[in-house]
Structure formats: structure tokens, C-alpha cells
């Protein structure tokens, strides 16, 4: 309400302005629509300039007001919302900073409440649907992933033992970190559930002389993984199959799964962990590496569900532990990796921006903007939201592992040295990648 020449005039405030006024307090946001003067929100933030957003259609503004994550993502992809500097991370980081989890934030809770029901339905990942969901993201073509992944083709959280390490070093350190927790011995049989392009399986064989079966639902990943094993001359000991984890048979000394539990879905956690227990030898060890959330049960945002990871969900520990208990598995070690994935995603994001022209040629401008929005949103989830990575070590027997964690540290040091020595060999043997 404003006073003009003695008269009271009711000023209409748009739904988007109401949302932004609630959200943006620390930092400056300037919004320009198809008509009228720019609107400003927030206050200056030390070391940060204002973020300037332009809406080119009224419908884009309304869409963001109705469903902020979905509306902003679709408007960015369509080009009906643009940002000075053409970097959507600036906007998402400003919003994420203001909605960060580790403070009392009623606005954050209200904005996400609407997506919980739809998200719970989306998590029913039966076998046929699981294969379709995996193909949606992982069968986009090897050329895309080759543009921003490291030499080991690791599409999961790296491990920054030193923040100054580059992505190649951090991904090798992640592999050593996982291998150490598996307490490997030569000749053991290892199952890799959700093996990706085979990097972990090949690494475990290389540094620990174990036999590995990797399973995936992605035909593109299977083809690349098999080619890599053949090129390394180890296809007889590192095998890959196109099979659902629920259909794997046999007994394994070790089971490892990196970045796959996010695709299982809440209704299937008991099935998943009971299958892990069934596949493990009585003295076996499993290591599950997954994105998780420290803020309790939640929901995958609707834009990510629609465009990036249908059926995907990052679980809270409170949702995993009951399933682990019912499978009669011992959680012998649980580690929370904070910020490591934010740093990993920042590396991927920079590489994707550097290869923009190539990605546009492979797909189109809309796809590039979608991928940029996905990585930028993921960075902010790990910078500001309750997202972390969990590494959960499991056994069937309480005495299957040493009483202290010293064995992990000794093995990790050894694997790091071996990994560094083999890095050049891996890159040379990885034919046809770039």
C-alpha cells in the first residue's frame, strides 16, 4: 500500500515477489520482468555483487512462483529466464545460501512441502522401471561424460584428502579410500553393484589382485566397461554384466556399491540390504557409498525427478538403518563425507562450461542449459542443504574385521601409492575415450 497525493493506492505484489521477499535476505537480487522497473530484494553481501535475473515472459514468472525449482529449471532451459553473466550458479547459490539447512528456516520447509507426495510415488522402482530410469540418465552417450569426468570415469563423489588436489588426484584417493574399507586379499571375489563404466572394478583388481563382477542396467556403461577390461587384458578376471542387482546369484567375499543406492527407492531398501546379506559370504564385507541427507527424510525436487534422475532419492540414515537391522547386518563403520561432493561438482561444472560448444554440438542449447542447471543445483545442495555422502561398511559377523580402524589407514596409504604409479598406465590404456 502506498500514499499518492493524499490517496491510498493498493499496490499489487506479484506471487513471485512474495516468494522472493521471503527468501532473499542476505545478498542482492534484482529481477526484471517483461514490463515495469526492476524489483530488488535482499541486502548487500560482503564480497558478492548483485545477481540480475531477467524474465522474458510473464508465464515464466508465474511458473517460478508456483513451483520454484521446477519453474526456474524449465525457464532456464527454455531461455525465458536469463541471468547477467549467463551463470545460473550465481542465482542458485544466492537462494541456497538464504535457505541453508543448518539454521532454523521455516521458509525452506514450506517451499519443499509440496513435492513430498509426488516424490514418494516416484520411488517405486520395480525392475523394468529401474532399467528405464537408468537409461534416461546414463545412456546419453559416452561423449558427454568423457568431456568432464576424470581418467577413471568416476561419476560419484571424489575424496579431497587435500582441498588443493585436482579432480584426478581426488578420484584416485576416493578409490583408495573405498578399497581400504573392503579389507581386500588377493583372489577374493568382489561384486560391484552399479559398476558404472568399470573404473572401480578395474582399480580393485589392479591394486588388490581380486576378481570382480560388475553389474549395471546401462547398456552404454556396459559396452565401455567391457572394452576397458579387454584393453587392459583383464577381461577374464574383471567381468561386467547387464543385470538387476535383485537377479544376481552366488556368494562373494566382498560387495561394493558406489552411487547406486540413490536409485533403489525407499520402498525397496529392505530388499536391497537383504540381497546384500544374501550375496555376502559369512565372513564377507560390504561397502555402500551413497548420497544422503542429514536433515531427515525429504523429497527429491520435482525438476531433478523429471529431467535428471527419475526414481532417484538420497536417503536419510534414519531410513537406511531399519533396513540394515532387518537384514541382520552389522554396520561396522559409518563415515560422513561433508563438502567433498560440492568440490567434485564444482570441478565438473567448470569442465562443462569449458566444453559448452562441444556439448551444444552433441545435443543442443537446451540440453546444455539443462545440464548446467543440474550441476549448479547439485553444488548448492551440498554447499547449503542437508546433502552429504555416507560410506557404510557392513558385515554379517561382528568379528569379520579387526577391532580398530588402523587396517584402513595402512591399506589406504598403500593403495594411494599404487594408484599414483598406475595412473599414467590407466590413461594410456583407456583407448577411444576422448
With cell 555422502, the residue in question is: 389
Q: Is 270 inside a domain boundary?
A: yes
- In terms of residue numbers, what domain contains 104? 2-114
Residues 388 and 364 in one domain: yes
At residue 46, the pLDDT reads: 82
Euclidean distance between the first and the last CA atom of the chain, given in angstroms as a whole number:
60
Q: Is 175 inside a domain boundary?
A: yes
The torsion angle over the Cα atoms of residues 413, 417, 420 and 421, rounded to 10 degrees, is -160
**What residues have CB less than 8 Å from 117, skipping those under 6 apart?**
none
At residue 4, the pLDDT reads: 46
Residues 156 and 52 in one domain: no
At residue 141, the pLDDT reads: 75
At residue 132, the pLDDT reads: 63
Distance CA 276, CA 248 (A): 10
Q: Is 327 inside a domain boundary?
A: yes
Task: Return the closest-CA partner of residue 138 out of 231, 239, 216, 70.
Answer: 216
Q: Is 129 inside a domain boundary?
A: yes
Task: Return the closest-CA partner of residue 214 out of 143, 269, 297, 153.
Answer: 153
Residues 110 and 123 in one domain: no
Task: Return the closest-CA partner of residue 22 out of 58, 68, 70, 62.
Answer: 68
List the grid coordinates of 315: 536417503
With cell 576416493, the residue in question is: 174
Question: How long, in residues, is the chain?
Answer: 434
Beta strands at 252-258 and 238-242: parallel, antiparallel or unpaired? unpaired
Q: Is 167 inside a domain boundary?
A: yes
Domain with residue 284: its CATH number is 3.40.50.150
Residues 110 and 132 in one domain: no
Residues 298 and 376 in one domain: yes
With cell 540390504, the residue in question is: 273
At residue 131, the pLDDT reads: 58
Residue 418 buriedness (CB in 10 A; 0-12 / 13-18 / 19+)? middle
Per-residue confidence in pLDDT tens, the chain, 434 aa: 444 454 444 445 789 999 999 999 999 999 999 877 899 999 998 888 999 999 999 999 999 999 999 999 999 999 999 999 999 999 999 999 999 987 655 555 555 544 444 454 444 545 555 556 656 565 677 899 999 999 999 999 999 999 999 999 999 999 999 999 999 999 999 999 999 999 999 999 999 999 999 999 999 999 999 999 999 999 999 999 999 999 999 999 999 999 999 999 899 999 999 999 999 999 999 999 999 999 999 999 999 999 998 888 999 999 999 999 999 999 999 999 999 999 999 999 999 999 999 999 999 999 999 999 999 999 999 999 999 999 999 999 999 999 999 999 999 999 998 876 555 444 444 434 43
At residue 135, the pLDDT reads: 60
Task: Return the closest-CA partner of residue 405 out of 332, 307, 340, 302.
Answer: 332
Residue 181 buriedness (CB in 10 A; 0-12 / 13-18 / 19+)? buried
Distance CA 190, CA 214 (A): 8
At residue 8, the pLDDT reads: 43
At residue 102, the pLDDT reads: 75
Q: Is 391 inside a domain boundary?
A: yes
Three-state secondary structure string covering the chain = CEEECCEEECCCCCHHHHHHHHHCCEEEEEEECCCCCCEEEEECECCECCEEEEECCHHHHHHHHHCHHHHHHHHHHHCCEEECCCCHHHHHHHHHHHCCCCCCCHHHHHHHHCCHHHHHHHCCCCHHHHHHHHHHHHCCCHHHHHCCCCCCCCCCCCCCCCCCCCHHHHHHHHHHHHHHHCCCCCCCEEEEECCCCCHHHHHHHHHHCCEEEEEECCHHHHHHHHHHHHHCCCCCCEEEEECCHHHCCCCEEEEEEECCHHHCCHHHHHHHHHHHHHHEEEEEEEEEEEEEECCCCCCCCHHHHHHCCCCCCCCEHHHHHHHHHHCCCEEEEEEEECCHHHHHHHHHHHHHHHCHHHHHHHCCHHHHHHHHHHHHHHHHHHHCCCEEEEEEEEECCCCCCCCCCHHHHHHHHHHHHHHHHHHHHHHHHCCCCC
Residues 160 and 66 in one domain: no
Residues 105 and 233 in one domain: no
Total number of domains constituting the chain:
2
With cell 526484471, the residue in question is: 32
Residues 77 and 205 in one domain: no
Q: Which of 114, 140, 156 is the last residue of a domain?
A: 114
Q: Is 253 inside a domain boundary?
A: yes
Q: Which of 86, 114, 142 is the last residue of a domain?
A: 114
At residue 121, the pLDDT reads: 45
Residues 269 and 403 in one domain: yes
Residues 37 and 137 in one domain: no
Distance CA 120, CA 123 (A): 6
At residue 1, the pLDDT reads: 44
The strands making up 211-216's β-sheet, listed across from edge to edge, are: 238-242, 211-216, 189-193, 252-258, 280-293, 387-395, 330-337
List the grid coordinates of 365: 542449447
Task: Return the closest-CA partner of residue 134 out of 126, 69, 381.
Answer: 126
Q: Is 434 inside a domain boundary?
A: no
**pTM for the full model?**
0.89
Q: Which of 69, 88, 114 is the last residue of a domain?
A: 114
CA–CA–CA angle 75, 123, 152 (5° rounding)? 75
Residues 124 and 179 in one domain: yes
Q: Answer yes or no: are the C-beta atoms of 327 and 270 closer than 8 Å.
A: yes
Residues 133 and 108 in one domain: no
Amino acid at each position: 500500500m502506498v500514499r499518492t497525493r493524499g490517496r491510498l493506492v493498493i499496490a499489487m505484489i506479484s506471487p513471485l515477489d512474495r516468494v522472493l521477499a521471503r527468501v532473499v535476505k542476505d545478498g542482492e537480487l534484482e529481477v526484471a520482468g517483461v514490463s515495469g522497473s526492476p524489483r530488488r530484494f535482499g541486502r548487500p553481501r560482503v564480497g558478492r555483487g548483485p545477481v540480475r535475473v531477467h524474465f522474458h515472459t510473464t508465464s515464466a514468472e508465474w511458473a517460478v512462483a508456483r513451483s520454484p525449482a521446477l519453474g526456474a529449471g524449465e525457464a532456464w532451459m527454455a531461455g525465458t529466464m536469463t541471468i547477467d553473466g549467463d551463470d545460473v550458479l550465481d542465482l542458485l547459490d544466492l537462494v541456497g545460501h538464504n535457505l541453508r539447512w543448518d539454521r532454523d528456516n521455516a521458509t525452506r520447509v514450506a517451499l519443499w512441502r509440496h513435492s513430498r507426495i509426488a516424490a514418494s510415488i516416484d520411488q517405486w522402482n520395480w525392475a523394468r522401471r529401474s532399467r528405464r530410469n537408468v537409461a534416461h540418465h546414463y545412456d546419453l552417450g559416452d561423449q558427454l561424460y568423457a568431456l568432464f569426468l576424470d581418467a577413471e570415469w568416476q561419476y560419484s563423489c571424489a575424496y579431497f584428502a587435500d582441498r588443493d588436489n585436482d579432480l584426478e588426484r581426488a578420484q584416485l584417493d576416493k578409490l583408495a579410500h573405498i578399497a581400504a574399507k573392503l579389507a581386500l586379499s588377493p583372489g577374493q571375489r568382489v561384486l560391484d553393484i552399479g559398476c558404472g563404466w568399470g573404473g572401480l572394478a578395474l582399480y580393485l583388481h589392479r591394486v588388490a589382485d581380486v576378481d570382480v563382477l560388475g553389474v549395471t542396467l546401462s547398456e552404454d556403461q556396459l559396452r565401455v566397461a567391457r572394452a576397458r577390461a579387454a584393453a587392459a587384458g583383464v577381461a577374464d578376471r574383471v567381468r561386467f554384466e547387464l543385470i538387476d542387482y535383485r537377479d544376481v546369484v552366488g556368494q562373494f567375499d566382498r560387495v561394493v556399491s558406489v552411487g547406486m543406492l540413490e536409485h533403489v527407492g525407499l520402498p525397496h531398501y529392505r530388499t536391497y540390504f537383504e540381497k546384500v546379506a544374501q550375496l555376502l559370504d559369512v565372513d564377507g564385507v560390504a561397502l555402500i557409498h551413497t548420497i544422503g541427507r542429514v536433515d531427515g527424510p525429504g523429497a527429491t525436487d520435482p525438476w531433478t525427478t523429471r529431467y535428471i534422475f527419475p526414481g532417484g532419492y538420497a536417503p536419510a540414515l534414519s531410513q537406511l538403518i531399519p533396513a540394515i537391522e532387518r537384514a541382520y547386518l552389522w554396520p561396522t563403520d559409518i563415515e560422513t563425507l561433508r563438502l567433498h561432493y560440492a568440490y567434485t561438482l564444482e570441478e565438473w561444472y567448470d569442465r562443462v562450461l569449458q566444453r559448452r560448444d562441444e556439448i551444444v554440438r552433441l545435443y543442443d542449447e537446451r540440453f546444455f542449459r539443462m545440464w548446467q542447471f543440474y550441476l549448479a543445483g547439485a553444488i548448492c545442495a551440498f554447499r547449503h542443504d542437508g546433502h552429504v555422502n555416507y560410506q557404510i561398511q557392513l558385515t554379517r559377523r561382528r568379528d569379520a574385521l579387526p577391532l580398530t580402524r588402523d587396517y584402513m589407514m595402512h591399506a589406504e596409504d598403500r593403495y594411494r601409492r599404487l594408484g599414483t604409479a598406475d595412473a599414467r598406465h590407466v590413461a594410456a590404456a583407456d583407448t577411444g575415450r576422448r
